Structure 1
Amino acid sequence: MLKSAVAVLLFSTIAVAQDAAMFRGNPEHTGVYNAAGAPQFHSLKWKFETKAQLHSSPAVANGVVYVGSTSRNLLAVDLETGKLKWKFETGARIVSSPAVVDGVVYVASYDGNFYAVDAVTGKEKWKFKTGGEKRFAAPHLHGSTPVTETMPDPFDSYLSSPVVVAGVVYFGSGDTNVYALNAADGSLKWKFKTGDVVHASPALADGTLYVGSWDSYFYAIDAATGKEKWKLKTGEDHDIYNQVGIQSSAAVADGVVYFGCRDSNFYAVDAKTGEKKWAFNNKGSWVISSPAVKDGRVYFATSDTGLVYALDLNGKEVWHFDGKHWVVFSSPAIAGNTLYLGSHAGKLRAIDLTSGKLAWEFETDGSKANGAGLTKPDGTPNYEAAFHTNFYDDMVAGVQIMLKTGAILGSPVVSGDTVIFASSDGNVYAVR
């Protein structure tokens, strides 16, 4: 747990063949890719410079990488050459991971619109206006001052990423709703209201949509009708609103839903009944990372403690990898016997699934340029260099200072022998 105001500040994104065309690889969000991956590092294939921060995960379809940017643009980059094919401008930053289905790219923007864009030409097909985007906000947030001021959370890093199945696109919004739209024309099929911001990405399995909200509830919603099937209550924090809210997107496998929560628990829930099967407690560390599930194990990362866990399906630890307290919001991607994961340290790490040992790592340009000044001699982050006081403005500024490390907030994606990821240093990287 972030036990004091200062501690809070210091520690506080449909697979076809080898494509990675949807957040977490498939509608169930298992994070597993049908690709060879790169169990050994060979080379940097290319680097595409955007000159803006990149927070979300890329998508790959038909030889093109699609990624959103804080410059307000949705970008399409050639997978082989790293050259820009087109860009589509919205009214505000894009921190939603796009989905690409049947030649259309679907993505949300902070301008309050949800867009459908032609994947080949970059031309708008339609847009749907939500009730507007906003971050989760609360008074005395993370112990900051002024105590009575309601503060948007600077760690609310993403917008909901869409899942598209059978001609319907589903996503959450800062207006507290979960939406279902007709994928062909953007017309509303239904909307489901929660009690707060929904920036987690829905997972869909067996006709049910699974998604968490910042109101501390996790919901199962009938995908056809938009009616609630069940909901599960997670932790609350009405003091500094630190240990509350669901940013993690769920994964569904073999009748079980897995998701993380800012109450520091990682949950396994019966997909049909909503009954909690078990919870793995992370001793106060948020779980923003969305899980990956493969071959009887579930994998996720913690934020404050920077750990990567492999658990068996009974919630027992198999192994963990220590990231030296570098915050991890990135979600694991699995291809073959290797797990790929980014961190706020500006490093992409490849971890062997069997041993939990590091196979290789790749350092971003931002990390090379600024990592030394924000890293202590023992390899742990120098948060004191960024977060000077517990005043809210200083917390916001400190987040931006730490992002100078070329942090990898989104999930990597794997296509063939190439791992593609985006960084806060403004670059999209393709390594193999």
Structure 2
Amino acid sequence: MTKPKALFLFALLIGGCLLLSGCIGTATPMGWSAPVMDDDVIYVGTTEGKVVSYTLFSEPRVAAEWWRFPPRGELGLGGGGGGGFLACMPTASAVMYSTPFVADGAVYIGAYDGRVYALNTSSRVAGYSFPQESEGEWVYPEEDSIGAIVGSPVVAEGILYIGSADGNLYAIDIVTSELAWDSPFATGGYIWATPLVHDGVVYIGSFDHKLYAIDAADGTLVWESPFQTDGAIAATPLFYNNTIYIGSFDRKFYAVDTSTGKAKEGFIPFPAGNWFWGRAVAYDDTIIVGCVDGRVYALDAETGERKWSFPELDEGAVGPIRGDPALAGEVVIFGADDGRVYALDAASGHLIWDYPHGEDRFGPIRASLYAGDGEVYVHDTRNHYIYALGAEHGNVLWSVSTAE
């Protein structure tokens, strides 16, 4: 079988899995945008293709909707038809997989319609027509679209970096909304991952099984050759101690020397029972990562040796884990497809709390979690709610609907 044909068949397999995992009984596609917070305002993309912001108040601790784009009553971004690679069937509105990136009063997000949006918070509060170019608002591209966007944007030094299902990594000047490089950086497969930008280098994985290191200024390769795995890469890399840590759909977790692009000496790739999809976190020379096999693994940062897992290997797994965990001090918190959120002692892996209790459940937690100021924010995309849980005890502090 030729390599292009094999890649195509693999993409169909992944797509089929996403159709099953991203849709529920009515065959409606569901996204998994994660909430983020900036200056006591929470931003999130909704399953209706909207970007919504909520202002947090202290006494009482509640969240109130500040603005939403497009406004209520209008179709979501890309509305008028799904039909894309992740969509289960044509729908009246779009979904949102991308997580907002907030910087200097602007909100940037990639939509599944294959366009990138820059929103000005003041203009959205006022309800002005979009885009208010004088206020820094824009859409890229202005006409047509690039491939579907599943990953999230990252802004560094005035440049927005984002990958697309067309296999390209784009660098967009946030002032001019024009390409910052001579051309997008092309990989050999879909890009569903969110890039990492560190010290002038953009790290991004692709469905072509490769991890790339790209000069953030001009879009040229930094490593002599990309780092090769045996499966598609959809995770965001973690930079820790001059090493990139990342998992692959080949069911292995890797450590890469950033100076050479080669496997980190002494680190043995860790084999798990299924794909690695989410980003890892680092705690005290330990790398902690969730896996679609329904377990969280803590690995020695130097050797890759397993320190602990939750649940332990002789215990039944929880639901598949796709999103990034949140690290709140000495506690690592993650959500799973079984509809629960789990908080573990980062040093030992011991369970501190889980929520909901008993037979109660959220919908499948596929969005990454966000930790801030003693709270952990959870996006329940099936029930269209954001929940704030206390990081110490897991109690519900407040909740707010994302639905129209």
From 88, 93, 98, give the equivalent of 2:69. Answer: 88
Matches within 5 A, 1:184-333: 184-190=175-181, 191-230=184-223, 231-235=226-230, 244-277=231-264, 278-303=267-292, 305-314=293-302, 315-322=304-311, 324-333=317-326
1:218 match: secondary structure = strand
1:107 match: secondary structure = strand
TM-score by length of 1: 0.70
Indicate the residue corresponding to 1:128 in structure 2: 140
2:68 match: secondary structure = strand
2:190 match: secondary structure = coil
Q: How many residues align?
A: 320
Indicate the residue corresponding to 1:391 in structure 2: none
Is 1:106 the equivalent of 2:108?
yes
| 1:177 maps to amino acid | N
The Cα of 1:423 is off from its aligned counterpart by 1.5
CA distance in 1, matches of 2:53, 2:112: 19
CA distance in 1, matches of 2:38, 2:17: 38
CA distance in 1, matches of 2:145, 2:285: 40
1:57 match: secondary structure = coil
The Cα of 1:282 is off from its aligned counterpart by 2.7
CA distance in 2, matches of 1:227, 1:116: 26
2:269 match: secondary structure = strand
Measured against aligned partners, the alpha-carbon deviations of 1:306-329 in whole angstroms (never above 9, x if no partner) come to 111111112111111117241110
- Relative to structure 1, the CA distance from residue 272 to residue 119 in structure 2 (aligned partners, 3 Å threshold; closer, same or farther) is farther
| 1:430 maps to amino acid | A
CA distance in 2, matches of 1:127, 1:418: 33
1:407 match: secondary structure = coil
CA distance in 1, matches of 2:67, 2:243: 40
Indicate the residue corresponding to 1:413 in structure 2: 370
The Cα of 1:341 is off from its aligned counterpart by 0.5
Could you tell me which runs of 5 or more consecutive residues in structure 2 were left unpaired when the two chains were aligned.
1-12, 22-27, 71-76, 79-93, 125-129, 132-136, 391-404
Measured against aligned partners, the alpha-carbon deviations of 1:321-379 in whole angstroms (never above 9, x if no partner) come to 117241110211112101010100111111111221111112299x73xx5xxxxxxxx
| 1:63 maps to amino acid | D
CA distance in 2, matches of 1:119, 1:296: 39
1:350 match: secondary structure = strand
Indicate the residue corresponding to 1:168 in structure 2: 159
- Relative to structure 1, the CA distance from residue 113 to residue 289 in structure 2 (aligned partners, 3 Å threshold; closer, same or farther) is same
Q: Is the 8 A contact 1:86 1:121 kept in 2?
A: no
Indicate the residue corresponding to 2:397 in structure 1: none
CA distance in 2, matches of 1:306, 1:119: 38
The Cα of 1:419 is off from its aligned counterpart by 0.9
Q: Is the 8 A contact 2:328 2:374 kept in 1?
A: no
The Cα of 1:185 is off from its aligned counterpart by 2.8
The Cα of 1:65 is off from its aligned counterpart by 0.6
CA distance in 1, matches of 2:214, 2:357: 39
Indicate the residue corresponding to 1:78 in structure 2: 55
| 2:227 maps to amino acid | L
1:197 match: secondary structure = coil
Is 1:68 the equivalent of 2:63?
no
The Cα of 1:9 is off from its aligned counterpart by 6.8
The Cα of 1:228 is off from its aligned counterpart by 1.1
CA distance in 2, matches of 1:221, 1:168: 14
Measured against aligned partners, the alpha-carbon deviations of 1:136-162 in whole angstroms (never above 9, x if no partner) come to xxxxxxxxxxxxxxxxxxxxxx71111
CA distance in 2, matches of 1:79, 1:328: 28
Could you tell me which runs of 5 or more consecutive residues in structure 1 were left unpaired when the two chains were aligned.
13-50, 135-157, 236-243, 372-404
| 2:297 maps to amino acid | Y
The Cα of 1:273 is off from its aligned counterpart by 0.8
Which structure carries more relative contact order (alpha carbon 8 Å, separation 6+)? 1
Q: Is the 8 A contact 1:263 1:284 kept in 2?
A: no
The Cα of 1:284 is off from its aligned counterpart by 4.2
Q: Is the 8 A contact 1:100 1:119 kept in 2?
A: no
- Relative to structure 1, the CA distance from residue 283 to residue 166 in structure 2 (aligned partners, 3 Å threshold; closer, same or farther) is closer
The Cα of 1:169 is off from its aligned counterpart by 1.0
CA distance in 2, matches of 1:70, 1:61: 21
The Cα of 1:424 is off from its aligned counterpart by 2.4
Measured against aligned partners, the alpha-carbon deviations of 1:53-99 in whole angstroms (never above 9, x if no partner) come to 55121110011110001201011112332211111122232210111
CA distance in 1, matches of 2:17, 2:204: 27
| 1:293 maps to amino acid | A
Measured against aligned partners, the alpha-carbon deviations of 1:219-266 in whole angstroms (never above 9, x if no partner) come to 00000110012201110xxxxxxxx31111101112100111000011
Q: Is the 8 A contact 1:52 1:71 kept in 2?
A: no
Q: Is the 8 A contact 2:318 2:336 kept in 1?
A: no
The Cα of 1:133 is off from its aligned counterpart by 2.6
TM-score by length of 2: 0.74
Q: Is the 8 A contact 2:31 2:95 kept in 1?
A: no
1:79 match: secondary structure = strand
CA distance in 1, matches of 2:235, 2:64: 32
The Cα of 1:181 is off from its aligned counterpart by 0.8
| 2:207 maps to amino acid | W
Q: Is the 8 A contact 1:54 1:422 kept in 2?
A: no
Q: Is the 8 A contact 1:216 1:233 kept in 2?
A: yes
